[in-house]
Structure 1
């Protein structure tokens, strides 16, 4: 322990310094005896000095493990076992969910009942429909965690993901692609809570920021109708990456639409989107990888 003497009173020689040194040694002995005899109380005192907060939508846990971890979306994980997660907000499924909640072309639109809907690559149509959505490749890695259990990974849950094509059209609904069902699919989460989808970078249609829709179900067996869903939300994308993608010739319409909208004016993300913003890596030549951690209270 370094002793500080702000007054620098050392000019009196040994006669002055000796009493000071004796008092300091005695003080140190008293401090050591207090710590030895009252360690538990001292520990409680020190613990009481720490700050804390209460956020019903966030969970933070700290362990002492030495394993390594990864960071997915807004959640964090470190080599010491520290993790944090937040409940993702509930959002509208929009007018084109294809989950049995509305109709299209005179019948109930339910892609969840299509043969082959449980799949990783959602770029092509299935169940007798032919067609493949063109666009810059995007791999979406979505991790589902339980905010009510220290951000534990939720294995075996199902994610239904759907989004528009590069021209802003939704399969099963938009007139030009009403006979298609691409860019829709269901995947089960693995032991790490992650479901992976192979798709394309979504376009930007007029009036909305670029986004994807998803619903979470307890399992693939229950992912057959909107009435079984646990959560509905949307994924946002960084504006700078969207601008880069939309500057390619195939996304020219999306670039114009993006210039007329912002997160501030978007009718879904204007109240906040920090827990919905995907992390993206990659480029327009090789494609992109997007990651997002989705917290639900399960």
Structure 2
């Protein structure tokens, strides 16, 4: 089967909720509350933190009522709903944004849909995979930019830094940006292990995270360049959901808008894999081509990001993801 790893031990992971910046009263609240907190201005965050239990209720209520309702509880000044463009324009982008070349061009200069791909054996998205069902999308703290730290243990993963920027656009609407969508990404470590699944890292949850697309349809993750394990071209997994409710519902087949993968370019991969932290990645890559990869063999042009940078300074990758409205 694609992406099978003989060295992976399937067990029920032992994870613990944690949060980088919230006090105890605000832990264990889940994805919707985390996202509501992150959508607010610094002033509103301080107000919520000062309200204690009432602040908790505000966050949880906002998951169902929306940010405008919770703003009323705070006496005004609340942020607009997550992903809403400035000025109250509806998700999808205002007409003025559609002419901005920076917001509509993909890595290859086109606005195209990406192919559906397998989510593999290690998604942790609530679907049954590898003989178990693991769900991380409703975990407090999973909405984050920095994927290098484990929420459960605080451990950090090592590797060449990679800043990944993804932009969602509507291919049926002049490549208009798609705001307010949830993007979940996950990947392997420098040595080819997947948190929550691989032997020795089942208690870790690094290299997995969620962002909500902004008014320009963009999300950015700070991660590491993934390693290359036997049988698979270097890649990053991702799923796109239309909203928070769909992401935390746990029914991927029904609720997901797109499941796909990003192919890392060979040139940069070989430079990175000279780093000793990447173990056998060069040897594994030497046994592969995009044409023989089980996922990318039908063509990976639209799935290959634009990559700039260096091993010493770190890399930045950007990719356009087109969706049909």
Alignment pair present for 1:89 and 2:122:
no
Matched residues in 2 for 1:133 and 1:100: separation? 24
The answer as to whether partners of 1:72 and 1:291 remain within 8 angstroms in 2 is: no
Distance apart, 1:222 and its partner CA: 2.5
Residue from 87, 95, 120 that aligns with 2:145:
120
CA 1:71 to 1:152, structure 2 compared with 1: closer, same or farther past 3 Å? closer
Structure 2: any 5+ residue segments left out of the alignment? 1-95
Q: Is the 8 A contact 2:182 2:241 kept in 1?
A: yes
Contact residue 124 and residue 131 of structure 1 kept, 8 A: yes
Q: In the aligned structure 1, how far is the partner of 2:193 from the partner of 2:120?
A: 13
Task: Check if 1:157 corresponds to 2:169.
Answer: no
What does 1:30-69 correspond to in 2, within 5 Å? 69=102
Match of 2:200 among 170, 173, 176: 176
Q: Judging changes above 3 Å, is the alpha-carbon distance between structure 1 residues 182 and 74 closer, same or farther for their aligned structure 2 residues? A: same
**In 1: Cα distance, 2:300 partner to 2:99 partner:** 32
With normalisation by structure 1, the TM-score equals 0.72
8 Å Cα contact 2:104/2:176 also seen in 1: no
Asked if residue 232 in structure 1 is aligned to residue 259 in structure 2, the reply is: yes
Residue in 2 aligned with 1:209? 233
Cα pair 1:74 1:85 within 8 Å, conserved? no
Displaced runs of 4 or more, over 6 A: none
1:15 alignment partner in structure 2: none
Equivalent pairs counted in the alignment come to 226
Give the alignment's Cα RMSD to 1 decimal. 2.0
Q: Which runs of 5+ in 1 are unaligned?
A: 1-62, 77-83
1:184-232 deviations in whole A, cap 9, x for unaligned?
0000111111100010000000000000000001123432132421100
Larger radius of gyration: 1
Q: Distance in 1 between matches of 2:143 and 2:99?
A: 36
Report the CA distance between 1:148 and its aligned residue: 1.1
Q: Does residue 200 of structure 2 align to residue 167 of structure 1?
A: no
Deviations 1:102-152 (A, max 9, x none): 256x852111121111111111111x3332111011000000111111111
Offset at residue 251 of structure 1 (A): 1.2
- Equivalent-residue separation in structure 1 for 2:275 and 2:206 (angstroms): 22
Q: Which residue in 2 is equivalent to 1:245?
A: 272
**How far is the alpha carbon of 1:66 from its aligned partner?**
8.4
Report the CA distance shift for 1:131/1:297 in structure 2 as closer, same or farther (over 3 A). same
- The alignment partner of 1:295 has SS state of strand
